[in-house]
Amino acid sequence: MRKIFTLCAVTALLNSPLVHAEQILSAQSDTLVGGGFSGLTGFMLGGAAGGPVGALIGGGLSYLVGSQAQEAMGLEQTLYVIKDENGLTRRVRSSDTGFVEGQQVSLQGSQVTATAP
């Protein structure tokens, strides 16, 4: 009977969210979405107006302008680098800014939630 109780307790502890929690390695501001959308638009317009050279110049300048515009409007996201229990790292973009480096989190798809301490 004691062995069954011990086995159940160990199984419950190993399935605990704290054992399978991910850890945030770094958090930084990210404006890739605004820059990418703007860069693609500038690439198309520059290509139509000036050919291949216009496409390259239009795409590059539009990327820089789009990133700065997203930051100026306060719409930048946070890029989290998250390490899971297997040692794999993932990059997740989120609008949440409440997480700090070293914090234990749970990752469900692209949704980051804090785990209970």
Q: For residues 28 and 93, what is the distance between their CA atoms, to the nearest angstrom?
A: 10
Token duo for residue 6: 């011990």
Token duo for residue 104: 């234990």
Q: Is the model's pLDDT at 2 over the cut of 50?
A: yes
Q: For residues 112 and 94, what is the distance between their CA atoms, to the nearest angstrom?
A: 8
For the segment 27-53, the average pLDDT, to the nearest whole number, is 92
pLDDT band at 91 (very low <50, low <70, confident <90, very high): confident
Sorted by where each begins, the domain ranges of the chain are: 1-30+78-117, 32-75
Token duo for residue 112: 């980051």
* CATH number listed for the domain at residues 1-30+78-117: 2.40.50
* Per-residue confidence (pLDDT) for residue 8, from 0 to 100: 62
For the segment 83-99, the average pLDDT, to the nearest whole number, is 82
Q: Which residues lie across from 27 on neighbouring strands?
A: 80
Q: Is the model's pLDDT at 16 over the cut of 80?
A: no
* Per-residue confidence (pLDDT) for residue 27, from 0 to 100: 84
Tell me the pLDDT tens digit for each residue of 98-112.
788 888 888 787 778
Half-sphere exposure of 62 (CA within 13 A, CB side): 19
* Per-residue confidence (pLDDT) for residue 7, from 0 to 100: 63
Sheet strands side by side (includes 104-108): 89-94, 77-83, 22-30, 104-108, 111-114
